[in-house]
Amino acid sequence: MTEELAQLRSITSTALLADFALGRGLLLPAVLAGSGIKEADLRTPSTEITLEQEFSVTRNVVAGINDEPGLGLLAGLLCHPPSMGVLGFALMSSATLRQAMDIALRYADLSFTAAQHRLENRGAQVWVVRDDSELPSEIRRFTLERDLAAIATIQQDLLPMRIPAVRVELCVEAHPIYEMFGAVFGVEEVTFDMPQSRICFQASTLETPLPQANISTARFYEQQCNDLMESRHSRSGLSGRVRQLLIRHAGSADQSRIAADLDVSVRTLRRRLAEEGTTFRELSTETVGLLAEELLIAGLTVEQAAERLGYSSVSAFASAFRTWKGQSPGHFGRLHRGRATVRS
């Protein structure tokens, strides 16, 4: 697996895609086939998956719906700011559309899109340029449709009025259903068969204030986005994959089980983790600690959290939790219950 495909992402986009597929008559086992994602993962917003897993599910969906032009547009209508966790809240509290756009591009790995986007400032105009050359060819059209419809949907969620585009250029062949692109972006004509997909806006329209703008709130959520990105990057490589497997096993898998899942020997696992400056025990302890926090924040009692994590007694769990957090699990739960977790 390449470093790019091993990149950690929120499961949110994949969960929305699964909802769309179910609405089109696909069955969940077929949607998740070969991805390594479990049904329970889709219901857990804190779950993180790799880009390769997301591509696998997208391929299944595209194949299952026969990849008809326009279906990606329908999938994009399901994308709204709150579904993106801290990134969505950062967008909603931004001062202007331009600031929201800058944040969305800076933390694109926390969003629904796997393609690369950049801004090109050209005097009175701003171009949003898309590069999806790294995406598998069989899912490019669907994801282009989905992402552009999502951009339009999110823009109208942030500001309940359409900000018209000056020009829309798409790298796909023309199709009657694509008249919808002109409608959602407020342009009379869309140009097809272009080398790249891009959208042009008047720079002045992007300075439109957002109704939920709040400087302090925006700074808080932008910092949360930054912290989350740094956390994900620090867990790249083998240690990141080990941590994800531990999460899927609810923190209870031993070193032999994880080595078998990775198709390496325990000795090789130890050596490669040492090269990354960590150990299996450190990763296991960190993972169980995070799972414990999330269970308590979600409202589980100390007894329920201890049982879920496989502890033989509540006292053993409480002792371990004090070591991690410097406070009792009961106290932590009362302080933080109901608060959104950092991992989106």
Q: Per-residue pLDDT tens for 171-229?
A: 999 988 888 888 888 887 889 999 999 999 999 999 999 999 999 999 999 988 888 87
CATH number for the domain harbouring residue 246: 1.10.10.60
Q: Which of 191, 224, 257 is the last residue of a domain?
A: 224
Radius of gyration of the chain from its Cα atoms, rounded to whole angstroms: 22
Determine how β-strand 190-191 pairs with β-strand 167-169. parallel
Same domain, yes or no: 103 and 165:
yes
pTM recorded for the entire structure: 0.68
47-86 pLDDT, tens digit each = 888 888 999 999 999 999 888 898 999 999 999 998 888 9
Same domain, yes or no: 127 and 247:
no
81-99 pLDDT, tens digit each = 988 889 999 999 999 999 9
Residue 143: domain span: 80-224
The answer to whether residue 71 is domain-embedded is no
Longest CA–CA span in the chain (Å) reads: 67
The answer to whether residue 204 is domain-embedded is yes
Same domain, yes or no: 265 and 198:
no
The answer to whether residue 107 is domain-embedded is yes
The answer to whether residue 97 is domain-embedded is yes
* Mean pLDDT, range 143-162, rounded to an integer: 92
Same domain, yes or no: 147 and 166:
yes
Label residue 2 by pLDDT band (50, 70, 90): very low
Q: Which of 193, 224, 255 is the last residue of a domain?
A: 224
21-49 pLDDT, tens digit each = 999 999 999 999 999 999 988 888 778 88
Q: 340, 334 in Cβ contact below 8 A?
A: no
C-alpha–C-alpha distance, residues 175 and 293, integer Å: 50
* Structure-token match 């302080």, residue found: 335
* Mean pLDDT, range 116-133, rounded to an integer: 92
Same domain, yes or no: 218 and 132:
yes
* Residues in CB range of 317: below 8 A, 6 or more apart: 292, 302, 305, 306, 309, 311, 329
The reported pLDDT for the residue numbered 186 is 84
Label residue 328 by pLDDT band (50, 70, 90): confident
Same domain, yes or no: 210 and 109:
yes
* Alpha carbon separation from 251 to 52, 53, 201 (Å, rounded): 23, 21, 48
Same domain, yes or no: 87 and 19:
no
| 251 half-sphere exposure, CB direction, 13 A CA radius | 22
Alpha helix stretches (DSSP H) within the chain = 12-23, 28-32, 39-42, 51-64, 71-76, 86-92, 97-106, 140-158, 179-185, 215-234, 237-248, 255-261, 266-275, 280-297, 302-308, 314-325, 329-336
Same domain, yes or no: 42 and 137:
no
Q: Which of 165, 197, 224 is the last residue of a domain?
A: 224
User: Poorest-confidence range of 1-5, 188-192, 314-318, 326-330?
Assistant: 1-5
Residue 339 has pLDDT above 50, yes or no: no
Same domain, yes or no: 89 and 218:
yes
C-alpha–C-alpha distance, residues 100 and 93, integer Å: 8
Instruction: Work out how many domains the chain is built from and give that number.
Output: 3
The answer to whether residue 153 is domain-embedded is yes
The answer to whether residue 175 is domain-embedded is yes
The answer to whether residue 197 is domain-embedded is yes
